[in-house]
Amino acid sequence: MPVLTSSSSSSSSFTSISLSIFLLLILYNTTVICSATTRTKTTHPNRQLSVNYYAKSCPQVEQLIGSITSQQFKESPVSGPATIRLFFHDCFVEGCDASIIISSKQQGNKMLAEKDAPDNKDLREEGFESVRKAKAVVESKCPGVVSCADILAISARDYVHLAGGPYYQVKKGRWDGKISMASKVASNIPQANFTVDQLLKLFSSKGLTLEDLVVLSGAHTFGFAHCQNFVSRLYDYRGSKQPDPVIDPRLLRALRMSCPHYGGNADIVAPFDVTTPFVFDHAYYGNLEAKLGLLASDQALSLDPRTKPIVQALAKDKQKFFQAFAAAMEKMGSIGVKRGRKHGEKRKDCSMHML
C-alpha cells in the first residue's frame, strides 16, 4: 500500500489517461508475460466493532452510502483509488478515526491538520468529496448516529467492489478522533522508495504482518502516482546516476518520455498497474514479476525472499488475493479505533471537530 498518490487538478485526469493509454500501447505491442513507531494498539477489535452496529439506529446506512459511491464511481472513477488511499492514510496515522478529513481552518487553532501535511498534499479531492456527500445523505436520515470514520471505511469497501474487487462485510462502531496533527503524518506513512525492511517496520508497528504488507500493497492494482514518486528510479536510482536496473526497459522508456529528470509537469501521473489501470484485480502482482512495478517500494516486494513467494502466489490466484485483501482490510480497519466520548466524537461535519 505504499504511497497511493494522484493529482487533484482536472487537467491531470486527461494527462493520466493519456499516459496510461500510451503505456498500454507500448507494453501490449511487445511481449509481456504476467503471471495468470509508536505502536498503535488493535486491542480486541472484535469486541469494539460489529457488522450490525447500526442495525437499530440506522439500518439503511450501507444503502445510503452506496447510493453515493455508485454515482460517484460512474461520474468520476478516480474516486475509487482516491477514497481507498484516504482510508489507508487515515488508519496509519492515529488510527481509523477520520482525522484525515479535518480541515486546518476548522480546528480553531494554528495547528495544521493531517490533511495539510506534505505527505497528504496530493490526496485527491474526490476522496474527501465522497465522504462529504455520503455523510450528508446519512445525516438526513440518521442524524448524529453514524461516524465519519465508519462512512470512510464503508465507502472504501464500496469502491473496491465497484472496480471489480471483492465485496466484504465492514465492521462498524468507530468514533471520530478528536486529534488531527500534521506533525504525526511523516513518520507513519510509507514512502515510495522504502525498502522492504522499512515497510515491515512500519506495518508491524500497526499490528500488521508481512503478508498484510504484500496484500494491502495490492491496492495499487488501480490508481496513479505523480512523477516525483518514481522519477529517481528513471535517472538516478539510490544515487547511482543510473536508472533502477530492475525496471523493464520498455516501461523505463515510456515513463522517461513523460517524466523528465528535471522541470517536468508536476501534474503528470502514471498508472500503478500498466496493464489494467482502472480495474481492481490481481494484475499488480503479475506486473511485479514482469518488472513493471511503478514504485521502488512495490517492485521490492517481488525481489525480497521474504515477500517474493507471496507475490508469486497472489499473481496466480485472483480469488486468493481477494480473500486475503478483504481480511487485511478488516484488520487494518481496526487500527487505533476510538470508542466513547472520552476518546472520540460523532461529527456532523466531517471536516470540523464537535464543539
Which residues have C-beta within 8 Å of that of residue 193, sequence separation ≥ 6? Answer: 232, 238, 295, 296, 297
When comparing pLDDT for 10 and 94, which is higher?
A: 94
Closest CA to 144 of 57, 69, 60: 57
**What is the mean predicted confidence (pLDDT) over 103-114?**
76
| Res 16 pLDDT > 60 | no
Which residue in the block uniquely carries the three cell numbers 493519456? 18
Q: Please indicate if the annotation marks 220 as binding a ligand.
A: yes
Q: What's 2-29+215-327's CATH class?
A: mainly alpha
pLDDT category of residue 36 using cuts at 50, 70 and 90: very low
Cα–Cα distance list, 119 to 78, 176, 198, 212, 286 (Å):
19, 21, 17, 22, 28
Among 103-112, 256-265, 279-288, the range scoring the smallest mean pLDDT is 103-112
Catalogue the E-assigned strands of the chain.
176-177, 224-226, 269-271, 344-345
pLDDT at site 23: 46
pLDDT at site 77: 94
Angle between helices 125-141 and 61-75 (to 10 degrees): 150
Q: Please indicate if the annotation marks 37 as binding a ligand.
A: no
Closest CA to 175 of 154, 155, 205, 145: 145
pLDDT at site 107: 56
| Res 5 pLDDT > 80 | no
pLDDT at site 106: 58
Q: Please indicate if the annotation marks 158 as binding a ligand.
A: no
182-235 tens-digit pLDDT: 999 999 999 999 999 999 999 999 999 999 999 999 999 999 999 999 999 999
pLDDT at site 159: 98
Is residue 89 among the annotated active site residues? yes
Q: Please indicate if the annotation marks 95 as binding a ligand.
A: yes
Domain spans of the chain, in order of start: 2-29+215-327, 46-189
Can you tell me the distance from the alpha carbon of 122 to that of 136, in angstroms, rounded to the nearest whole number? 24
Residue 270: phi and psi, rounded to 5, are -125, 150
Mean pLDDT estimate for the chain: 88
276-321 tens-digit pLDDT: 999 999 999 999 999 999 999 999 999 999 999 999 999 999 999 9
Among 30-34, 257-261, 311-315, the range scoring the smallest mean pLDDT is 30-34
Quote the pTM value. 0.87
Q: What is the CATH number of domain 46-189?
A: 1.10.520.10
* Domains 2-29+215-327 and 46-189 alike in fold: no
pLDDT at site 42: 42
Q: Please indicate if the annotation marks 267 as binding a ligand.
A: no
Answer yes or no: are the C-beta atoms of 152 and 98 closer than 8 Å.
Answer: yes
Candidate list 89, 226, 282, 353, residue with the active-site label? 89
Q: Please indicate if the annotation marks 221 as binding a ligand.
A: yes
Q: Please indicate if the annotation marks 90 as binding a ligand.
A: yes
pLDDT at site 157: 98
Name the 3-class secondary structure at 259. coil
**What is the mean predicted confidence (pLDDT) over 140-149?**
97
**What is the mean predicted confidence (pLDDT) over 322-332?**
98
pLDDT at site 104: 87
